Amino acid sequence: MQNQWNPEVAAHFPGDLGQCVYASRLLGADPDLVLHGGGNTSVKIVRPTIFGEPEALLYVKGSGSDLARIAAQDFAPVRLDHLRRLTTLETLSDSQWHNELRGSVVDASAPPVSVEAMLHALLPAKYVFHTHSDAVLAITNTPGGAERIRAIYGDTVVIVPYVRPGFPVAKHCAAIFQAELSARTTGVVLLRHGLFSFGETAQAAYDQMISLVNQAEAYLASYPVPPAPVNMPDPQLILRQELAELRLAISGAAGTPMILATHSDEQTLRFAQRPDLAVISQQGPATPDHVIRTKRVPMLGRNVAAFRADYEAYVQEHQSRTSFALTMLDPAPRVVLDPALGMVAVGRSAQEAHISGEIYRHTMTIIAQATAIESYLSESAAEVFDFEYWELEQAKLKRQGRPPMFAGEIGLVTGAASGIGKACVESLLARGAAVVGLDINPTIAQLFDRPDFLGIRCDVTSEEQIIQALERTARAFGGLDMLILNAGIFPPSRRIEAMPTAEWRRTMTINLDSNLILMREAHALLKHAPRRGRVAIIGSKNVPAPGPGAGAYSASKAALNQLARVAALEWGQDGIRVNSLHPNAVFDTGLWTEEVLQARAKNYGLTVEQYKTNNVLQIEVTSRDVAELAAEMCGPLFAKTTASQVPVDGGNDRVI
Ligand code: ZN
């Protein structure tokens, strides 16, 4: 591991807290040290109270922030003496302890204090850094972990045996530190948890962290992980329905729709194909910091189809445990392993699924390494579930409030690169859905750079490309809940006697045939949507009120409208709702340049403004208006409506 300290950059971070911010960012930037909000850092600073008396404060990373992007205001100043004194108490419940932590913060606007703040208080050095280094965990998470750590570091580190996180670990550490900390101590290793380094300057504490990790890495170098062959799956394998079924089962366990991200790369497949998977995958997380997010793996090296039985047994087993708080943390697994698929990472959102996946990726590395040394040992799964961490988690969930409307759900929008389609993507994202956007325009791939969006270049006239897009959707997010059919073309104005056959056919292919194929291929996914599938179809005013010169367009949209009505009839028994919107005169799309607008307005003897608002309500209809209606049609407001056709046109006297 490279030491990244750069004195020139460090100089831009003034003061003791600034130095701590710089070091924190360096540590946070390395996923082999900390992952997604894991790890924490602190600095002890004496500041005057409001009465002018000096007071020792511990500036410790607040929970909820990420070390890689941390800023000064993400640290909570805590009264140091108060924290230290708490360890003189015999016992403290998690909620009392939590209350004391919160109560000892001197700045009301500070973030909540990290649960590991107490260890920072107990270590006397000015700067204290804590990570969950993969290399150190691979060594501590073996049966002979303590002896190995001792062999590597001699008496320069203090070893803390595994203790349940919370007040007990603080109490335990207070006693150990008092007895064992000396001038020779360079770090503290918490078995099956992580390590602490410290120093009088941020650089010294950082250097110490890197040096401790490097010693661990050097030790690991003598235990190389033996290369194992890996069977890569058939790239033609179509698994979208199985994945949707798996998602339905997991969402049922969670009590809410979940996102499933499938990772079928060499690392995950090699791990999932290990003959000892049944044992190693059930040993618990590598560090308690990963507990809440990773959970355990209930599926053991069998086909996805076998999951349901496994899962039912799993839920029954845990429901019978009185200590298992179902309401607080759902019993759904966060990682599913399958030799054919690799890893399926699960979360309540695409971001959460991403985090589960990344944490487990590191867990796989740690397990493989620990097994190469000896064997992998974590605290038992039972102990993981018995954590009274629940109290703190409950508080966290309360703070988060109500989840967004489409949390854990997946929407697919066609023609998503611009106009109404792009607006639909935005409306679904704003309601918490993960969204797949299809478009023939390759810019779709870069439309949004966020974990809950997947842009796929797709020519909807190609059956094969549609099937591939749905397959990618299921692998990226687990299935499909909402389908918004928007892609379409509006050919140039042409009377019937002048209509070229090719133009007619092309319009039908894009506006009608592609939607039949999409609906047909998406049906199995929509049928397995946890809250039942929804289809929103962007129709047209031309359906009820066709216009001269728009024969191909009007006929294609009318046929699509009829197809939607049949779909509503046929799919009602699967709980799938199919509703249509009929927009008119939406001018903020790529089709309508200022030039075209002016020409059309002039044609009617109107100004552009008059032309845009040429409807009963005399208001402009935007892409966003259409998109918001489409999104709401997929939401609870339309829960009991199917086959509806709602105009979004400002009122049209020919339709009325
Ligand atoms: Zn930790």
Active site members: 553
The reply to whether domains 240-399 and 410-589+621-648 share a CATH topology is: no
Q: How far is CA 369 from CA 35, 170, 221, 278, in A?
A: 18, 29, 10, 17
User: What's the CA gap between 440 and 458, in Å, rounded?
Assistant: 5
Contact 354, 450 (CB under 8 A): no
Task: Report how far residue 276's alpha carbon sits from residue 96's, in angstroms, rounded to the nearest whole number.
Answer: 42
Query: Which structure tokens are listed for 600?
Result: 């059309």
pLDDT at 508: 98
The full DSSP string for 211-264 is HHHHHHHHHHHTSPPPP----PPPTT---HHHHHHHHHHHHHHHTS--EEEEE-
What pLDDT is recorded for position 379? 63
What is the Cα–Cα distance from 393 to 148, expressed in whole angstroms?
34
- 262: tokens are 């499938």
pLDDT tens digit string along 508-562?
A: 999 999 999 999 999 999 999 999 999 999 999 999 999 899 999 999 999 999 9
State how far the Cα of 321 lies from the Cα of 314, in Å rounded to an integer. 11
**Mapping DSSP to helix (H, G, I), strand (E, B) and coil, where does residue 528 land?**
coil
Ligand 1 center to 586 CA (angstroms): 54
253 Cα–ligand 1 center, Å: 28
Return the pLDDT at 167. Answer: 80
Question: In angstroms, what is the span from residue 344 Cα to ligand 1's centroid?
Answer: 25
Q: Domains of the chain: which residue ranges?
A: 7-220, 240-399, 410-589+621-648
**Cα–Cα dist 172/180, whole Å:** 12
User: 121 CA distance to ligand 1 centroid (A)?
Assistant: 14
State the helix-helix crossing angle for 240-254 and 514-527, rounded to 10 degrees: 40
Distance 56 CA to ligand 1 centre (A): 24
Gap from CA of 321 to ligand 1 centroid (Å): 27
The DSSP annotation for 90-157 comes to: S---HHHHHHHHHHTBS-TTSPPBPTTHHHHHHS-SSEEEEE--HHHHHHHTSTTHHHHHHHHHGGGE
User: For the chain, which residues score pLDDT lower than 70?
Assistant: 164-165, 284-285, 288-331, 379-400
CA of 190 to the centre of ligand 1 (A): 9
User: Which H helix or E strand runs over 582?
Assistant: strand 577-583
Sign of CA dihedral 36, 40, 43, 47: positive
SS3 string, 275-297, reads CCHHHHCCCCCCCHHHHHHHCCC
Whole-number CA gyration radius for the chain: 29
Q: What pLDDT is stored for residue 104 in this prediction? A: 93
Phi first, then psi, for residue 56 (nearest 5°) are -80, 120
CA distances from 352 to 68, 215, 522 (A): 18, 33, 25
DSSP state string for 587-633: -SSTT--HHHHHHHHHHTT--HHHHHT-STT---B-HHHHHHHHHHH
pLDDT at 469: 98
- CA 63–ligand 1 middle distance (angstroms): 12
Query: What CATH number is given for 7-220 in this structure?
Result: 3.40.225.10
Structure tokens at 237: 């394998």
How far apart, in whole angstroms, are the C-alpha atoms of residue 630 and residue 635?
Answer: 9
**Cα distances (angstroms) measured from residue 77 to each of 47, 84, 307, 523:** 10, 14, 48, 55
Q: Is 240-399 a domain of CATH 3.40.225?
A: yes
Q: How does strand 534-538 pair with strand 577-583?
A: parallel
Please tell me the class of the 410-589+621-648 domain.
Answer: alpha beta
Edge-to-edge strand list for the sheet holding 342-347: 259-263, 342-347, 335-338
C-alpha 407 to ligand 1 mean position (Å): 29
539 vs 12, 33, 58, 208, 559, CA distance in Å? 57, 52, 61, 64, 10
Tell me the pTM. Answer: 0.88
Is the separation of the CB atoms in 423 and 627 below 8 Å? yes
Burial class (CB in 10 A: 0-12, 13-18, 19+), 200: exposed
C-alpha span between 40 and 47 (Å, rounded): 22
Identity of residue 147: E
